[in-house]
Amino acid sequence: EVSICWLRRDLRLEDNAALYEALKGPFPVLLLFIFDKNILSKLADKKDARVTFIHRTITKLNIDLQMLGSTILTRFGKPEEIWSEILDEHDVKAVYVNHDYEPYGRERDDALAEYLRSEQIDFHTFKDQVVFEKNEIIKADGKPYTVFTPYFRQWQQKLNKFYLRAYPLNKYSHNFLPLTAQELPSLSAMGFETSTLHFPSKDFSSKLEAYEQKRDFPAEDATSHLGIHLRFGTVSIRSAAREAIAQGAEKWLSELAWRDFYMMILWHFPHTVNKSFKPAYDLIKWRNEESEFEAWCQGRTGYPIVDAGMRQLNQTGYLHNRVRMIVASFLTKHLLIDWKWGEAYFAEKLLDYEMASNVGGWQWACGSGNDAAPYFRIFNPELQTKKFDPELKYIDRWLPAYKQGKHVQPIVEHAFARDRVLKVFKEALNE
Ligand code: FAD
């Protein structure tokens, strides 16, 4: 008789809600990870760095687990098929998972819940990847917030030690199922190659002190780079929030709340993954010029701050927040290309890709989102550069050709593009 704790995007043993509850429960715990074919088969790049990251993390978890006399059960396949194999192989009494807010994850978990019910196996689910989820922060009329500021006010008011409590591993770590070590499927067996990209460290605490002052200047590299760790759960959101509070880093804490906010929005409005939050924006007549999209992807628009950004993204899998806003505004407004194209490109490239924040960020930049920048706010790349990269340090780092006078000419003139987008947006929005 065993319990199974299935890890998905909560790849850690320490401070993991579902794992803690499983270990506290009546049966020895078997930890499971599935390399999900439904997801992996959609990745175009065989060197996708996120697959390498996950593989390394699971390898490390397995070593940690061996110290506790157990091993992680890893499989490669479709969860719906793997689960029926597992129930054949083990006498499973209960299954524990942490909540997932993305449409695919919800569907997968609903199907599993039904299957387990039919087999009379208990299914326990927990909040783990956010501080507040679903309906925990809600307006007086019972509806979800769609504007961040009042949401954040309530988020802050509600926050206390209870919501940030840790789930210590050592309390029940004797309750793992004793098992001899098992091999993980190799990356190549799953059709992938090892990426050589650099992964950011988990140590973010030194970044918090000067964060508020320096966060908007891309050359400073003054942000935490914690995104990938929050995405895959290699750092617990509660430990991040506790550290922010300990250091009085309010601005940084509010960024973690933005993350909660977008997860809540995705949960309540899952259709916004491929539809504009404000329906009128789906009437915009995008130009969707493929050659211009290609130029944007490759950093050849002739706008140095845009091109430097796209090169940082392509080379490192990371892009500074200020520059994410600039390149997203440029694509949707200067080039009149559908935000979904940009969203998909980021989804392919970002190490910290998070569906909720990415869709939220893109809809914000193009104006179609809840609480978005108004449609007539069109970032001027030159002014943005003067303000946030005045000495061109960032541009010089990612686009050295610019200083040498060797970069391409702008593909569209700013004033012309501005007039064009205003006209097209006004027409669609009937303003
Ligand atoms: P820090 O500034 O150190 O912030 C700490 C953490 O707070 C981040 O790791 C992230 O988890 C969270 N956070 C910070 N800003 C935001 C925000 N605006 N919205 C939601 N969460 C935030 N963030 C992602 O995590 N994944 C994405 O796919 C993503 N796509 C974006 C697309 C666009 C067009 C825009 C404008 C923003 C996007 N963001 C996304 C938000 C933000 O740019 C990144 O979270 C941030 O730049 C990551 O760097 P960092 O880890 O150093 O963040």
36-61 residue pLDDT tens: 999 999 999 999 999 999 999 999 99
Q: Is the pLDDT of residue 194 over 90?
A: yes
Q: Is the pLDDT of residue 66 over 90?
A: yes
395-420 residue pLDDT tens: 999 999 999 999 999 999 999 999 99
User: Catalytic residue at 286?
Assistant: yes
Can you give the pLDDT at residue 242? Answer: 98
Nearest Cα residue to 9 out of 227, 232, 229: 232
Question: Pocket around ligand 1: residues whose beta carbon is below 6 Å from it?
Answer: 215, 223-227, 230, 255-256, 258-259, 262, 321, 324-325, 328, 346, 350, 352-354, 357-358, 361-362, 365
Distance 352 CA to ligand 1 centre (A): 8
Say which DSSP state 32 is in. Answer: E
What's the mean per-residue pLDDT of the chain? 97
255 is in an annotated binding site: yes
User: Catalytic residue at 321?
Assistant: yes
158-193 residue pLDDT tens: 999 999 999 999 999 999 999 988 889 999 999 999
Give the chain's domains with CATH numbers: 1-127 (3.40.50.620), 129-165+203-268 (1.25.40.80), 273-429 (1.10.579.10)
DSSP string, 157-202: HH--GGGG----STTTGGGBPP----PPPPTGGGT-----PPPPPS
Q: Is the pLDDT of residue 373 over 90?
A: no
**Residue positions counted in the chain:** 431
Residue 101, CA distances (Å) to 35, 264, 415 in order: 19, 8, 41
Can you give the pLDDT at residue 182? Answer: 82
Instruction: Report the nearest atom of ligand 1 relative to the CA of 353.
Output: 28
Average pLDDT in the 224-228 region?
98
Cα-trace Rg, the chain:
23
- Count of H-run helices and E-run strands, the chain: 19, 5
417 is in an annotated binding site: no
Selecting among 209, 220, 255, 289, the annotated active-site residue is 255
In this prediction the ipTM stands at: 0.99
Phi, psi (rounded to 5 degrees) for 140: -60, -30
Average pLDDT in the 296-306 region?
98
Q: Which residues contact 161 (CB under 8 A, 6 or more apart)?
A: none
Amino acid present at 250: E
Q: Is the pLDDT of residue 431 over 90?
A: no
Name the band, by pLDDT with cuts 50, 70 and 90, for residue 308: very high
Substitution site in 148, 234, 243, 255 for ligand 1 pocket (most atoms within 8 Å of beta carbon): 255
211 is in an annotated binding site: yes
d(CA 418, CA 278): 21
Can you give the pLDDT at residue 23? Answer: 98
Amino acid present at 385: T
User: Catalytic residue at 258?
Assistant: yes
Assigned token pair, 355: 């569906």
Name the band, by pLDDT with cuts 50, 70 and 90, for residue 328: very high
Distance 325 CA to ligand 1 centre (A): 11
The model's pTM: 0.98
258 is in an annotated binding site: yes
Can you give the pLDDT at residue 141? Answer: 97
User: Which SS3 state, helix, strand or coil, does residue 311 take?
Assistant: helix
Selecting among 209, 321, 348, 380, the annotated active-site residue is 321
User: Which SS3 state, helix, strand or coil, does residue 27 take?
Assistant: coil
Q: Which residues contact 55 (CB under 8 A, 6 or more apart)?
A: 184, 187, 192
User: Catalytic residue at 38?
Assistant: no
User: Catalytic residue at 255?
Assistant: yes
Distance 318 CA to ligand 1 centre (A): 10
Distance 249 CA to ligand 1 centre (A): 16
Distance 255 CA to ligand 1 centre (A): 8
More confident residue, 3 or 430: 3
- Rounded to whole angstroms, the maximal C-alpha distance in the chain is 70
